[in-house]
Amino acid sequence: MPDLISILSHLFSLSAVLAIVAGIGAGLVVGFLPGLTANMAIALLLPVTFVMPPTPALLLLVSVYASAIYAGSFSAILLHTPGTSASAATVLDGFPLTRRGQSNRALRIATFSSMVGGAASALCLLFLAPPLSRISLWFGPAEYFFLALFGLSVIGSLSTGGVAKGLLSGALGLLFSTVGLDLDSGYPRFCFGFSDLHSGLEFVPAVIGLFSMSQALVMAEASHQSIRRKDISVIGRWRIFPRLREVKVIKTTVMRSSFFGILIGILPGAGADISSWVSYNEARRFSRRPWRFGKGSIEGIAASETANNANTGGALIPLLTLGIPGSPSAAVLLGALVMQGLVPGHEIFDRHASIIYTVIIGFFLANLLMGIAGMYATRHLSHITRLPNYILIPVIVFLSVIGAYSLSHSLVSVAMMLAFGFLGFLMRKINMSPAPMILGLILGPFAEKGFRQALILSGGDLIPYLLKSPISLILIALTFLSVGATVWFGIRKGPKPAQKKEKA
Amino acid sequence: MKKRVLGDLLFLCLFVVLFAVPVQADWPEKPVKLIVAYGAGGGSDITARLLAQGLEKVIGQPVVVVNMTGGAGWVGWGAIAGAKTDGYTIGYINVPNLFAGYLDSRIKRSENLGSFTLIMNHITDPCVWAVRADSPYKTLADLMGAIRKSPGQLSIAVHGNGGDDHLAYLDMERKAGIKMKVVHNNSTAISRAQLLGGHVDVLAANVCEVFQQHQSGELIVLGVMADRRSPFLPDVPTFRELGYDLAWASTRGIAAPAGLPDRIAARLSDALARVIESSEHRAKAGQLGLTLDVVYGAKYREMVQREEQHIKTLMGW
């Protein structure tokens, strides 16, 4: 590691500071706008960075990455429209708080958690990257299969409207995830002759549809109103930092979610979405107040937001050390590294040490700065919940369409988004949560691919192959615990008190 | 009143400038859209952005890279085929990935090779087989010996049915009479993680995806499926040298919709040639491990048709 003085002098040069500030600004805007994902933010800035020197170029991109994931929570909390798909789990508890006029509380928890999660992942990246990167290699097909199963075990407990509806929603998600060309055989599955479906039902349009578009429809039903039910004026003083009391409630959740976020970040292919859902479920399982989840639990917000930001640093670990991106956004960053002539691998830390360490420390700083910038921005931004629905609805629909289109530059994605929007609306009418469906859509392909690859590699002797690694055994145990705990708590607590129906 | 007339005149002038001039003038008079059928940050995207940078300078117009993803590539390729024949929408086609979409009878697609005007092949990235640095197989001969000894026991990670890695494996299977377990991944990064983690024995990839790891000793490239050795892997023999007569690669070239006027095609081709002949472009491509293989117009079409025939027989399509 080169000396600290030279790194700091690189970091506090004008170009580096400008890059971080610009990155945070761009990330906050893109993250806040529903549908514009962190991926896209990085991809849009990629060509800009080609003409920049490596240090500011990478600082710009990692700052955008961190702050876009963070800012996704703003619209998730304020409008029930996750700004990036990684914040979908934040909707479940963030929006109910907004409805009660406590958006400030939700936002400061989200900010605090994002900063801690992001900063923790940056520290891991700085000090532990080479050993941690080995984790990404331990996970073979069998381990991925069991990881996906573990994730899917959440479904039973995620269902707000009864277990049966939750399972149905999850099963539909799994079914949707099978649409498209089969990777192994090239067979078009459930495409019904539409070649546009060959790449499958895309995940991002599904999230935009199920959460954002369906929200616009729900709001359209109850016209001439605004989101916030209670007293319109901002309640109390705008607090930037969470209260000590709140920190005490969420501290274990934040620590646990940082762990899950970083771990899942390290795994190739599994991105911030999975981190956030897995942590959400674990927070609920270990919580002393599990009944508050889905109704405005600050632990729920903390779990989701800590994990999705912890994922960012985690995803950079195998990217820098092995050239294996730990998340879809990191895959775009790989393009940036390659274009800058920085070859990921062990030697990047020797040959380009001053660049890499400057970028990592800059990433750490960006995680702190984004929170400060975010809390000042949301102070004004949270007034949008006071806007009447006849303004908000068109804005949400407009952004949903833009978001879906910008992903693939094709109207097919927009059509998918609209279809999921109507589906989400109908589901919410019968009090069926869209969250299990999202989970099925994300995890289905992981489970299927893992299982089929294991089947091939085992040569037909499947069970010994699946059980040969300790990681698989741990994941199986966790899955049984997860399902068992859900059943146990369900029996012990007896029938839940009748749930109030929430309507916007 | 006078003002009104003046305003109308101005409007008329504007109208003339906006609409009349482009019809009269020659290509290029406005920004050019360069479609890439895969996502940002990937190999095709990087190639496209590199080209766009140079092309902007040569034609004096912005060149906008548009990633149109989905449909196993055909959302983007379909958009190229269906674009106006004015030369302002061009894009990359990827051979052999293009073929499965219309040759495979399970997929009924109306577009085919005839839907494109082929302008120029840009990159030919040969297929390679690689193993881990601590693998017991240090040469292709070692590996083939082990495969023959226990057929169907060793595994190889490839990139999707009908992709170049898979086709290369099938060809090898036929020509060398071998059998392996084939695992499909949707990204080479995941295949590489499976190789390094010891979950599979062989990685099928392309030169630009592994040459740096080969140099740094993280993995060993056993052979290159090309007519001659790759400049990026001078110490690695070709499969031909080792007695296996095959050559496979992933190629990326520029296409426009069928029926592009010859005049525009020629100008486009000239502009592309100026970009690709520049030392700056060559240096950058070299840095990225991209093997330039520039083939124009009719020759390019012949090259693609040859591959098409090759694949038809191999896959039985």
Tell me the CATH number at B292. Answer: 3.40.190.150
Q: Is B14 on the interface with A (CB under 8 A)?
A: no
What does the pLDDT look like over B201-223, one tens digit per residue? 999 999 988 998 898 888 999 99
CA-closest candidate to residue A438, choices A162, A203, A265, A230: A203
**Cβ(A269)–Cβ(A447) below 8 Å:** no
What does the pLDDT look like over B267-300, one tens digit per residue? 999 999 999 999 999 998 988 889 999 999 999 9
**Cβ(B225)–Cβ(B238) below 8 Å:** yes
Full-model pTM = 0.84
Point out the domain boundary residue: B172, B207, B224.
B224
B16 falls within a domain:
no
Alpha helices in A430-494 (DSSP H): 435-458, 462-467, 470-493
Q: Is A5 exposed, middle or buried (0-12, 13-18, 19+ CB in 10 A)?
A: exposed
B10 falls within a domain:
no
Point out the domain boundary residue: B191, B224, B257.
B224
pLDDT of residue A161: 65
Quick check: helix, strand or coil at residue B296? Answer: strand
- B121 and B136 share one domain: no
Please tell me the distance from the alpha carbon of residue A384 to that of residue A228, in angstroms, as a whole number.
10
Please tell me the distance from the alpha carbon of residue A280 to that of residue B188, in angstroms, as a whole number.
31
**Cβ(A348)–Cβ(A54) below 8 Å:** no
Nearest to B190 among A269, A323, A341 (CB): A269
B22 falls within a domain:
no
Tell how strand B155-158 and strand B89-95 pair up: unpaired
Q: Is A343 on the interface with B (CB under 8 A)?
A: yes
Quick check: helix, strand or coil at residue A8? Answer: helix
Question: Residue B69 corresponds to which tokens in the numbers above?
Answer: 């993803």
pLDDT of residue A49: 85
Question: Residue B202 corresponds to which tokens in the numbers above?
Answer: 């062989």
Contact B160 A186 (CB under 8 A): yes
Q: Is A198 on the interface with B (CB under 8 A)?
A: yes
Interface of B with A in 48-67 (CB under 8 A): 49-50, 52-53, 65-67
B193 falls within a domain:
yes
Please tell me the distance from the alpha carbon of residue A462 to that of residue A456, in angstroms, as a whole number.
9
Contact A269 B187 (CB under 8 A): yes
Question: E strand or H helix at B89, and its extent?
Answer: strand B89-95
Chain B residues within an 8 Å CB radius of A61: none
Other CB atoms closer than 10 Å to residue B205's CB: what's the count? 27
- B87 and B121 share one domain: yes
Contact B216 A346 (CB under 8 A): yes
B311 falls within a domain:
yes
Q: Distance from B207 to chain A by nearest Cα, in Å?
A: 14
**Cβ(A436)–Cβ(A169) below 8 Å:** yes
Quick check: helix, strand or coil at residue A169? Answer: helix
Please tell me the distance from the alpha carbon of residue A58 to that of residue A477, in angstroms, as a whole number.
40
Distance from chain centroid for Cα A361: 23
Quick check: helix, strand or coil at residue B118? Answer: strand
pLDDT of residue A417: 94
Contact A187 B106 (CB under 8 A): yes
Q: Is A187 on the interface with B (CB under 8 A)?
A: yes
| Inter-residue long-range contacts of B303-309, CB under 8 Å, 24+ positions, other chains counted | B303/B121, B303/B251, B304/B95, B304/B113, B304/B118, B304/B121, B304/B253, B305/B113, B307/B95, B307/B96, B307/B99, B307/B251, B308/B99, B308/B103, B308/B113
- B183 and B194 share one domain: yes
Alpha helices in A38-79 (DSSP H): 38-49, 54-79
Closest residue, chain A, to B70 (C-alpha) = A199
Interface test with A, best of B134, B194, B284, B290 (most A CBs within 10 A): B194
- B83 and B102 share one domain: yes
Say which CATH number the domain at B156 has: 3.40.190.10
Q: Is A408 on the interface with B (CB under 8 A)?
A: yes
Question: Residue B117 corresponds to which tokens in the numbers above?
Answer: 């005007």
**Cβ(A227)–Cβ(A77) below 8 Å:** no
State how far the alpha carbon of A299 is from the alpha carbons of A293, A296, A390, in Å: 8, 9, 33
Please tell me the distance from the alpha carbon of residue B81 to that of residue B131, in angstroms, as a whole number.
39
β-bridge partners, A314:
none
Residue the block writes with tokens 């890499």: A356
Q: Distance from A197 to chain B by nearest Cα, in Å?
A: 6
Closest residue, chain B, to A136 (C-alpha) = B193
**Cβ(A272)–Cβ(A81) below 8 Å:** no
pLDDT of residue A185: 81
Angle at A63 between CA A58 and CA A65, to 5 degrees: 95
Q: Is A350 on the interface with B (CB under 8 A)?
A: no
Question: Assign residue B218 a region: left if phi > 0, alpha if psi is -120 to 50, beta otherwise?
Answer: alpha
Contact A409 B68 (CB under 8 A): yes
Closest residue, chain B, to A195 (C-alpha) = B71
Nearest to A140 among B65, B69, B199 (CB): B199
Please tell me the distance from the alpha carbon of residue B159 to that of residue A167, in angstroms, as a whole number.
33
**The one-letter amino acid at B71:** G
- B121 and B253 share one domain: yes
Q: What is the DSSP letter of B269?
A: H
Residue B268 belongs to what domain range? Answer: 33-125+249-315
Q: What is the DSSP letter of A51?
A: T
Closest residue, chain B, to A196 (C-alpha) = B71
Contact B193 A322 (CB under 8 A): yes
- B42 and B104 share one domain: yes
Contact A47 B49 (CB under 8 A): yes
Residue the block writes with tokens 């890059």: A19
- B183 and B254 share one domain: no
State how far the alpha carbon of A478 is from the alpha carbons of A117, A258, A292, B193, in Å: 23, 18, 23, 24
Question: Residue A353 corresponds to which tokens in the numbers above?
Answer: 């040490």
Q: Is A190 on the interface with B (CB under 8 A)?
A: no
Closest residue, chain A, to B52 (C-alpha) = A47
What does the pLDDT look like over B155-187, one tens digit per residue? 999 988 888 999 999 999 999 999 999 999 888
* Overall domain count for chain B: 2
Chain B residues within an 8 Å CB radius of A409: 66-69
The 3-state secondary structure of B215-250, one letter per residue:
HHCCEEEEEECCCCCCCCCCCCCECCCCCCCCCCEE
Is a pLDDT exceeding 60 seen at residue B103? yes
> What values do phi and psi take at A495, rounded to 5?
-65, 140
Distance from chain centroid for Cα A395: 23
Please tell me the distance from the alpha carbon of residue B4 to that of residue A369, in angstroms, as a whole number.
54
Contact B72 A39 (CB under 8 A): no
Please tell me the distance from the alpha carbon of residue A83 to that of residue A91, in angstroms, as a whole number.
10
Tell how strand B202-206 and strand B155-158 pair up: parallel
Distance from chain centroid for Cα B204: 16
Nearest to B71 among A195, A346, A347 (CB): A195
Please tell me the distance from the alpha carbon of residue A30 to that of residue A32, in angstroms, as a whole number.
5
Alpha helices in A344-469 (DSSP H): 348-351, 353-381, 389-408, 411-429, 435-458, 462-467
Where exactly are the structural domains of chain A?
4-493
Please tell me the distance from the alpha carbon of residue A283 to that of residue A256, in angstroms, as a whole number.
8
Alpha helices in chain B (DSSP H): 2-15, 21-24, 43-59, 74-81, 97-103, 140-149, 164-176, 188-196, 207-216, 262-277, 279-288, 297-315
Contact A197 B109 (CB under 8 A): no
Other CB atoms closer than 10 Å to residue A167's CB: what's the count? 14
B233 falls within a domain:
no
Please tell me the distance from the alpha carbon of residue B121 to that of residue B290, in angstroms, as a whole number.
13
Q: What is the DSSP string of A277-315?
A: HHHHHHHHHH-S-GGGTTS--HHHHHHHHHHHHHHHHHH
What's the average model confidence in pLDDT over B229-254? Answer: 95
- B37 and B115 share one domain: yes
Contact A453 B40 (CB under 8 A): no
- B107 and B159 share one domain: no
pLDDT in tens, chain A (504 residues): 567 888 888 888 899 999 999 999 999 999 998 877 888 788 878 878 878 899 999 999 999 999 999 999 999 999 888 988 899 999 999 999 988 888 889 999 999 999 999 999 999 999 998 888 888 888 899 999 998 898 888 776 666 667 788 889 999 999 999 998 888 888 888 988 787 888 888 888 898 999 889 989 988 887 556 665 554 445 567 787 888 889 899 999 999 999 999 999 998 877 888 899 989 988 888 888 888 888 899 999 999 999 999 999 999 999 998 888 888 888 888 888 888 878 787 778 878 888 999 999 999 999 999 999 998 888 888 888 888 888 888 988 998 898 888 877 888 889 999 999 999 999 989 988 888 898 899 889 889 999 999 999 998 888 889 988 999 999 999 888 878 877 776 666 554 444 444 433
Chain B residues within an 8 Å CB radius of A180: 72
Interface test with A, best of B75, B281, B317 (most A CBs within 10 A): B75
Nearest to A332 among B41, B160, B218 (CB): B41
**pLDDT confidence bin for B10, thresholds 50/70/90:** low
B4 falls within a domain:
no
Q: Distance from A248 to chain B by nearest Cα, in Å?
A: 39
Contact A137 B187 (CB under 8 A): no
Closest residue, chain A, to B160 (C-alpha) = A183
Q: What is the DSSP letter of B20?
A: I
Interface test with B, best of A40, A136, A181 (most B CBs within 10 A): A181
Please tell me the distance from the alpha carbon of residue B80 to that of residue B84, in angstroms, as a whole number.
9
pLDDT of residue A227: 64
Please tell me the distance from the alpha carbon of residue A125 to that of residue B55, in angstroms, as a whole number.
38
Please tell me the distance from the alpha carbon of residue A92 to that of residue A102, in angstroms, as a whole number.
14
Closest residue, chain A, to B198 (C-alpha) = A137
> What values do phi and psi take at B119, rounded to 5?
-95, -55
